[in-house]
Amino acid sequence: MQISGRFTIAIHIFACIATFEDDYKITSDFLSSSINVNPVVIRKLLQQLKAAGLIEVKRGSGGASIAKPPEEITLFDVYTAVECVGSGELFHFHENPNTDCPVGRNIHSVLDEKLLRIQTAMENEMKSITIADVISDTKRYISENNK
């Protein structure tokens, strides 16, 4: 199973805002045409990012902007804002191991710590990459490929 496309879409949103905010009003329609997903999907995502304090959205007049310095927004922030995994658990554990079985009774104790270690390794790497990195790389690529 893969991590939802909402994650890469959300990052794409940040890159678009940073690249175009001086020249365009960043509406959900504008974003939707760069990303090629339905504007309503974008709006829902913007809501989630707003709730996490990462993005500001203007009602009425319209337009989205980044709510705090991009150096202070990590990919982990975006990931948690956007993934609906309520529990925050990366791994799905089979629900009902048989507690009458010595292995079934202890499998959670054995695995939980190991799974958490794996999840933490991933999350730490996410925390080491910021939206500022994404933005500067985006600008670099754009100028390299002239325009």
Which of 33, 63, 72, 131 contacts its own copies by CB under 8 A?
A: 33
Q: How far is the CB of 60 from its own copies (least distance, A)?
A: 26
* 141 lies in the site for its own copies, by CB under 8 A: yes
CB 78 within 8 A of CB 50: no
Task: Report d(CA 131, CA 106) in Å as an integer.
Answer: 41
Binding mask 56-95 for its own copies (x = CB under 8 A): -------------------x-------x-x---xxxxxxx
- Reported as half-sphere exposure (CB side, CA atoms, 13 A), residue 82 has a value of 26
* Dihedrals phi, psi of 56, to nearest 5 degrees: -115, 140
Angle between helices 6-20 and 75-82 (to 10 degrees): 120
* 63 lies in the site for DNA, by CB under 7 A: yes
User: Which is nearer to its own copies, 47 or 98 (by Cβ)?
Assistant: 98
User: Which is nearer to DNA, 84 or 145 (by Cβ)?
Assistant: 84
Which of 52, 57, 107, 132 contacts its own copies by CB under 8 A?
A: 107
Distance from first CA to last CA of the chain, Å, rounded?
36
Return the H-helix or E-strand segment holding 129.
none
Q: For the segment 37-56, give every residue that binds its own copies (CB under 8 A).
A: 37
Which of 20, 34, 43, 115 contacts DNA by CB under 7 A?
A: 43
Residues in the chain: 147
Q: How far is the CB of 43 from its own copies (least distance, A)?
A: 16
